[in-house]
């Protein structure tokens, strides 16, 4: 194995950990709320108990919670402890990573809203059909664990939430996450740089099949999957392959498969995967022609899947510095903060486990406390289920409010756009290929956030503004190709054109969209 492959694996796995951190932290919180506040009975009631109702509720609740396929792992383990049927659990596991308020808004600006809504409807058909048939094939999968003892209200109940989160960050959930991340590294080792640039073309009948082989070991956050879908729609790639990428790339990972094998055994896992892949491929080929965007220019390749391939070309030098620099550029503040929080919870969980022989903190939290005084005038004893419901609703509300922070107003976006423009165009003129590619990607992403921010605040995105942003992205893609080819004259001309296009883009969004009165 070449040194470039090793560093590519390290980079891709580290990127996956960073991207997953906020969603994984959210999943740990949800699992702790279900365990300590809802309990098995209320959790079963929340998810409908089973049957068709449970499958639909599993899909709906999964769509509302901001988790990824790795963040869903601690949640599905808790649903298993609560005694939910396997079909309902797997319906949630598939649906939760596909859509959330952030990614759904993003997706509505990438293509015709009908396409994204059709994808959402297809996922409902998928999870209900696969879950129902699997429950029929393999009944009796609901095996609840003994319920955890209750915790007295007050600070102890809050403390029990923290200890439950620490437990999930330091037990088998962490191992499952590691297996899921390992799949990303193995995929990067197997695929040479740019190996998937032509695998999803619309004119390739086998595109959904090829994407199936790639998507299952891959890992994509809901936002990353949506951005990849946008690039596929922009280049006229296969709609069926895009659907496969969304369902398997965002909805599954090797950690989920490992959990199924250890929980349900080989026979049931193979049955579920066979059924899932069959239905996914039938749906993907069924929607290919009806949902393909007419009038789209067919590109002969796409860079949407370069992130699954090896990151470094053979013969690359100074790989340690390149890996460190890419991680520094990719790391977002909220990702680093979430990762630090997870590390702290993991450390706390290890300390609690190691110190259990001397003092069992969880047993102390669960010990009944005698009532020493009457309740005051303003004291209210709230049931754990009520507190848990308030926390889950608060989490959903926080994700909705977070949309406005993640997709800023146009004036704020243009501040970031011009920073990215300086880096991208400057490195293009200097012939710094990798630096230019990275900042072109960042600039492209800010143009999409610009569109989503307008859509979020106005409820619509006029076609004129959409076309201006699309023109800039097309020119950025051409610039990337010219820089890679080393054509200095064509690069200079494109840099000049992009500067003019950016000025028109700014005028379209800041002056023409909301003209001053």
Q: Which is nearest to 228 in space by CA: 249, 212, 209, 213?
A: 249
3-state helix, strand, coil split of the chain in percent (to 5) is: 75, 0, 25
pLDDT the model gives residue 118 = 77
Residue ranges in the chain modelled with pLDDT below 70: 1, 50, 101-102, 105-114, 197-198, 202-203, 230-236, 291-304, 369-380, 514-517
Buried b / exposed e over 38-49, threshold 16 CB at 10 Å, is bbbebbbebbbb
Question: Helix, strand, or coil here: 315?
Answer: coil
- Burial bucket for residue 64 (CB in 10 Å: 0-12, 13-18, 19+): middle
Residue that has been written with the tokens 């596991």 in this structure:
93
Q: Which is nearest to 410 in space by CA: 472, 455, 353, 360?
A: 455
Contact indicator for 299, 236 with CB cutoff of 8 Å? yes
Q: Using CA atoms, how far apart are residues 123 and 479, in angstroms rounded to an integer?
A: 37
Q: Which is nearest to 403 in space by CA: 69, 100, 119?
A: 100
Instruction: Measure CA of the first residue to CA of the last residue in the chain; give whole Å.
Output: 64
Residues 6+ apart with CB under 8 A from 314: 2, 4
Q: Which is nearest to 299 in space by CA: 233, 243, 242?
A: 233
Contact indicator for 305, 224 with CB cutoff of 8 Å? no
pLDDT the model gives residue 350 = 92
Residue that has been written with the tokens 């409820």 in this structure:
459
Q: Using CA atoms, how far apart are residues 474 and 471, in angstroms rounded to an integer?
A: 5
Domains of the chain, earliest start first:
3-353 (no CATH), 408-517 (1.20.120)
Q: Please give the C-alpha separations between residue 24 and each of 28, 167, 176, 195, 223, in angstroms, as whole numbers.
A: 6, 14, 12, 30, 14
- The encoded tokens of residue 67 equal 């988790």
DSSP, res 65: S
- Classify the C-alpha dihedral 397-412-339-322 as positive or negative: positive
Q: Where are the alpha helices (DSSP H) in 292-383?
A: 319-330, 333-354, 361-366
Q: Where are the beta strands (DSSP E) in 137-216?
A: none
Residues 6+ apart with CB under 8 A from 507: none
Residues 6+ apart with CB under 8 A from 25: 71, 338, 341, 342
């Amino acid at each position: 194995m070449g040194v470039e492959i090793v560093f590519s694996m390290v980079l891709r796995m580290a990127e996956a950990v960073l991207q997953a951190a906020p969603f994984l932290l959210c999943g740990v919180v949800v699992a702790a709320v279900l365990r300590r506040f809802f309990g098995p009975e209320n959790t079963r009631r929340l998810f409908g108990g089973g049957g068709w109702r449970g499958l639909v509720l599993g899909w709906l609740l999964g769509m509302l919670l901001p988790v990824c396929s790795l963040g869903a792992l601690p949640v599905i383990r808790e649903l298993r402890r609560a005694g939910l049927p396997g079909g309902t659990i797997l319906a949630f596991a598939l649906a939760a990573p596909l859509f959330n308020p952030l990614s759904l808004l993003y997706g509505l600006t990438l293509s015709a809203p009908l396409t994204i809504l059709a994808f959402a409807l297809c996922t409902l058909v998928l999870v209900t059909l696969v879950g129902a048939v699997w429950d029929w094939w393999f009944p009796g999968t609901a095996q609840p664990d003994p319920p955890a003892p209750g915790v007295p209200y007050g600070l102890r109940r809050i403390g029990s939430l923290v200890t439950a989160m620490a437990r999930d960050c330091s037990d088998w959930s962490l191992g499952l996450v590691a297996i899921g991340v390992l799949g990303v590294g193995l995929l990067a080792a197997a695929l040479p740089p740019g190996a998937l640039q032509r695998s999803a073309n619309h004119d390739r009948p086998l595109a959904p099949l090829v994407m199936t082989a790639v998507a299952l070991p891959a890992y994509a956050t809901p936002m990353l999957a949506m951005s990849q879908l946008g690039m596929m729609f922009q280049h006229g790639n296969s709609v069926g392959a895009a659907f496969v990428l969304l369902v398997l790339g965002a909805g599954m990972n090797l950690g989920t498969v490992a959990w199924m094998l250890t929980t349900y055994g080989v026979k049931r896992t193979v049955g579920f995967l066979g059924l899932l892949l069959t239905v996914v491929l039938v749906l993907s080929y069924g929607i290919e022609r009806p949902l393909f965007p007419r009038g789209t220019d067919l590109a002969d390749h796409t860079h949407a899947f370069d992130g699954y391939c090896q990151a470094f070309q053979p013969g690359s030098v100074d790989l340690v510095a390149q890996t460190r620099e890419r991680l520094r550029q990719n790391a977002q503040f909220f990702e680093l903060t979430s990762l630090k929080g997870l590390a702290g919870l993991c450390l706390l969980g290890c300390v609690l486990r190691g110190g259990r022989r001397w003092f069992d903190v969880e047993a102390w939290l669960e010990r009944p406390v005698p009532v020493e005084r009457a309740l005051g005038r303003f004291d209210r004893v709230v049931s754990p289920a009520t507190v848990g419901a308030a926390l889950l609703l608060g989490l959903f509300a926080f994700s909705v409010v977070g949309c406005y922070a993640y997709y800023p107003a146009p004036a704020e976006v243009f501040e970031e756009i011009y920073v990215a423009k300086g880096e991208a165009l400057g490195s293009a003129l200097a012939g710094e290929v990798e630096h230019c590619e990275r900042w072109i990607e960042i600039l492209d992403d800010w143009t999409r956030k610009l569109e989503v921010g307008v859509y979020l605040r106005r409820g619509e995105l006029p076609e004129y503004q959409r076309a201006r942003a699309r023109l800039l992205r097309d020119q950025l893609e051409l610039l990337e190709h010219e820089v890679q080819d080393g054509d200095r004259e064509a690069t200079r001309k494109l840099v000049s054109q992009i500067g003019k296009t950016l000025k028109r883009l700014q005028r379209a969004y800041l002056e023409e969209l909301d003209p001053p009165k």
